[in-house]
Amino acid sequence: MQIDHAFPGGNILLEKIEGDDVTLRQDLRDTEGWWFYWCFRVRGAAGRTLHFHFPDTGEAWQSVIGVRGPAVSRDEGRHWNWLGRGSASDFSFTFGADDDAVRFSFAMPYQEDRLERFLDCHVGHPRLRRERLCHSRKGRSVERLHLGCLHGAPRYRVALTCRHHACEMMASYSLEGLLEEILGDSEAGAWLGENVEFLAIPFVDKDGVEDGDQGKSRKPHDHALDYGEHRLYPETTALAAFLPEWSRGKLAIALDLHCPSIRGPFHEDLMSPDRLRDAGNWARTEDFFRVLEKVQQGPLIFRLADSQAFTTWTGPEGPKGPVAGLITTWVRTLPGLRFGTALEIPYANAGGKEVNQESATAFGRDLARALHRYLADG
């Protein structure tokens, strides 16, 4: 039997194997404090039942397994299912006779190969152009996608960013669904294709995504906080230079997609944490979210009341007001912007509904419908 993380997005520290009991912990690498991302592969365990233990979960709220258990893939990470509700620190799995390689993760990874499959399905599409934003620190090509009205002058421009925190993979499925709707033949896709140019950065922290980093709270600060005076990362430096030039005063909306923590109040709801950061921006953001409530069709339901009820992200002592260096704080300085906001897509549970590859993608299509209606109505 072999347990490893030698694949894109892999992250695990193997402490010991005693019979059928396996003790592991997530690799925090350059993370400040604690976070919960892990993803590993087991080979050569066909016919066995193994018990996996994560003993060092920290404080009571610091679970490493979410509300629907770990995610499991039997096909090298293309398709994932939740194992089921259980403990926040251990789980068991019985390997079938044909289970030569099984991957386990705290959620459902979205890597570069998934994006490549999506783009391959749309090669030659007149409403899609692929460019390079920059090269990452490790020399990877960081994708910059342009979609929608690419020929002629668009009425509006919209910026979409994802994976400022490398581990927040469920947001990537929603971004894919949003892009799919823009490229489709629906009423929303047709109108957006004629009137809006979209800029999408699928992996802001490209190295972190492929290397399997936590990304959240990276030392000395993470990518989402790298929009101040002293930028550290080539992706954020390139985006901060490109976005004002590209927008040309037509940037109407900037939407930054994230995932929250994995258990507890507000972490299991579709919501935005921006209400406390900028009152004027939030008033305009609420208008968009009211449209989203009306047009959504998918299984995951956004409720504006969840964001309105949100008080702080980390408790009563959490930050209030604009956060220096945060992308949504910086982007609001660009001329013409109606609103810029972050949107949290939960890892496994959203308002009691299951978040998975299909439902998260469907929510992205709902976001595209909301953008169509919000912009078309002026």
Write out pLDDT tens, residues 166-180.
Answer: 999 999 999 999 999
Is pLDDT above 80 for 246?
Answer: yes
Is pLDDT above 70 for 371?
Answer: yes
Say which range, 193-197, 229-233, 313-317, 323-327, has the weakest mean pLDDT.
313-317
Closest CA to 344 of 283, 289, 287, 284: 289
Overall average pLDDT of the 81-100 stretch: 93
pLDDT band at 61, cuts 50/70/90?
low
| pLDDT value for 67 | 92
pLDDT band at 85, cuts 50/70/90?
confident
| pLDDT value for 312 | 54
- Taking a C-beta distance cutoff of 8 angstroms, is the pair 356, 296 a contact? no
141-148 β-sheet, strand order: 128-135, 141-148, 196-201, 156-162, 251-258, 339-344
Is pLDDT above 80 for 91?
Answer: yes
Is pLDDT above 80 for 57?
Answer: no
| pLDDT value for 316 | 42
Respond yes or no on whether the N-terminal peptide bond of residue 299 is cis (omega within 30° of 0): no
| pLDDT value for 193 | 97
Overall average pLDDT of the 289-317 stretch: 84
Measured over all CA atoms, what is the biggest interatomic distance in the chain, rounded to whole angstroms? Answer: 65
pTM of the predicted protein model: 0.96
Closest CA to 236 of 259, 208, 214, 260: 208
Overall average pLDDT of the 151-162 stretch: 96
Better-predicted residue by pLDDT, 202 or 61 = 202
CA distance 161 to 144: 10
| pLDDT value for 318 | 47
Is pLDDT above 90 for 101?
Answer: yes
Overall average pLDDT of the 252-270 stretch: 92
Q: How far is CA 22 from the centre of its chain?
A: 29
CA distance 147 to 125: 9
pLDDT band at 149, cuts 50/70/90?
very high
pLDDT band at 280, cuts 50/70/90?
confident
| pLDDT value for 59 | 62
| pLDDT value for 348 | 96
Is pLDDT above 60 for 320?
Answer: no
- Taking a C-beta distance cutoff of 8 angstroms, is the pair 12, 5 a contact? yes
| pLDDT value for 317 | 40
Is pLDDT above 70 for 319?
Answer: no
Mean confidence (pLDDT) of the chain: 93
Overall average pLDDT of the 325-343 stretch: 93
Q: Which domains does the chain have, with CATH numbers?
A: 2-105 (2.60.40.3120), 112-376 (3.40.630.10)
Overall average pLDDT of the 296-301 stretch: 98
